[in-house]
Structure 1
């Protein structure tokens, strides 16, 4: 008979359920795994005791998780979507990217980043389908002290006017539509032409979409442009610039909006300025400043 069979561990009772389960963790388990398992069990049991689900409700939860797994493919990760809409993805990202106040804040990567986009010259037009309101982005990359960062490589991508990324519409949108990669000059600057971003729904045809509907929530993401900024010696920044007039800023389905990431967009009705940027008039102009933290700079303490 095993040690467990001889009564080494306490038998189950409702009041001490989490402690009883955690007592079964082996003595040789590494400390981090032990901490994670004990914490998850503790809070899961506390939630069940607070909710007091019926058998039918618990089975419905199991079915939901089963359906979520069945929805996952190489191109769609329904569990990540679930993490997103519950705010967990943003919380994990925030914990792992605590930075000084001046540094640009992170937000989630999203599922539609594409590796290997070729470098474009500053001033390039990344809108290949001709849809949408023209937008000129005049950006700079600086360090915490405000000094320009030369040679930073910046990936950019966004949806088109119809609310889809190019990889979602193969054969409909031109390949590489609304994607670009730029490098900052000696003044830390780069610029490009695109279109004003618009809101769009996350995939809501699966179990996560049904959950949102049950909770009285919509699936819409606030209008944004994605950026990844990389430079030797600096922390990589994964962030967005959000359109300030988007009606979903306070209701972003994945909680990706932070106040510091809401851009300033100016509408310009000046044909002469439009011609100087080779865009039609009127057009929009935004000038984000990306502030990088050096790899060895001290992180803020846990709040």
Structure 2
């Protein structure tokens, strides 16, 4: 028995000594933040390996998984961001960098389908651009957390069509379902798009294999992306989710927050906002946004 105890003590000391040796290798870094981050990463990574008693075969499988993620990544697909998403690391980063403020609109994941320099539209314009789906009118306001309207706030919006695809996923297609616009003098905004649909994240690669092995769905609930900016206020990156969507409780990337679930009200064909007459059913959603100041108000 004493031999076994001594062996266990020596093993624990050997493992702890290796961790300290690796941590010390970063001590000479001229960048304090790099030194601190790497020391923490090494300690947590080594603790994980010790905790699960990782086998050599499991380590080999992990390296093969990461290698496969690298091979499938290109200018159109980032498998490592996808991995971060499904592990909740993306949402944890959002949480750490967007502390909860009861009066500010909550943040969520950015997603991979944002496009710089989306077309500028005027309030009330239609950004559907021929996308398939039921017409949808989105309106709301942008205010500070104290309730003051924020005229001129820039609002970037983008969403998938009712087949669950973004414009950039169609080869050669023109930009559609995305735009930027500015809040009016009262902080209000409105535009037309199409009702978004639930869709699966890309699951034909290693991340999809991981989800399948875990018995997890790749689906995301229907949503519209927003990025809202105004001088003197924190940039807001968020979604609105369609109330009643079947995937709200099983979002593959953990992005759903109760405060971001919005009713999309169904309407019959006929008169709509802005004097528009619809020859088919349409829907509407209202999303009022509160931006947190860069400095406390």
Q: TM-score of the superposition, structure 2-length normalised?
A: 0.90
Given that residues 274 and 281 in structure 1 are in contact (C-alpha distance below 8 angstroms), is that contact kept between their aligned partners in structure 2?
A: no
1:217 aligns with 2:232: no
1:35–1:70 CA distance, 2 compared to 1 (3 A) = same
RMSD: 1.9
Q: In 2, Cα distance between the equivalents of 1:195 and 1:247?
A: 19
**Residue 118 of structure 1, CA deviation:** 2.4
Describe the superposition over 1:148-196 as per-residue Cα deviations: whole angstroms up to 9, x where unpaired.
110111111111111111111023x4x1211121111111111111111
Greater helix proportion: 2
Given that residues 269 and 279 in structure 2 are in contact (C-alpha distance below 8 angstroms), is that contact kept between their aligned partners in structure 1?
A: no
Q: Which residue of 1 aligns with 2:252?
A: 253
Correspondence list, 1:1-303, <5 A: 13-171=14-172, 173=173, 175-269=174-268, 271-273=270-272, 276-297=275-296
Given that residues 150 and 187 in structure 1 are in contact (C-alpha distance below 8 angstroms), is that contact kept between their aligned partners in structure 2?
A: yes
Given that residues 135 and 193 in structure 1 are in contact (C-alpha distance below 8 angstroms), is that contact kept between their aligned partners in structure 2?
A: yes
Describe the superposition over 1:47-90 as per-residue Cα deviations: whole angstroms up to 9, x where unpaired.
11121122211111111111111111122111111101100011
Q: Which residue of 2 aligns with 1:5?
A: none
**Residue 269 of structure 1, CA deviation:** 3.0
Q: What is the DSSP-based 3-state SS (H/G/I as helix, E as strand, rest coil) of the residue aligned with 2:146?
A: coil
> Where do 5+ consecutive residues of structure 2 fail to align?
1-12
**Residue 204 of structure 1, CA deviation:** 0.9
Describe the superposition over 1:124-165 as per-residue Cα deviations: whole angstroms up to 9, x where unpaired.
111122521221111111111112110111111111111111
> Where do 5+ consecutive residues of structure 1 fail to align?
1-11, 299-303
1:245–1:277 CA distance, 2 compared to 1 (3 A) = farther
Q: Which residue of 2 aligns with 1:301?
A: none
Q: TM-score of the superposition, structure 1-length normalised?
A: 0.88
Q: In 2, Cα distance between the equivalents of 1:233 and 1:168?
A: 35
Given that residues 128 and 194 in structure 2 are in contact (C-alpha distance below 8 angstroms), is that contact kept between their aligned partners in structure 1?
A: yes
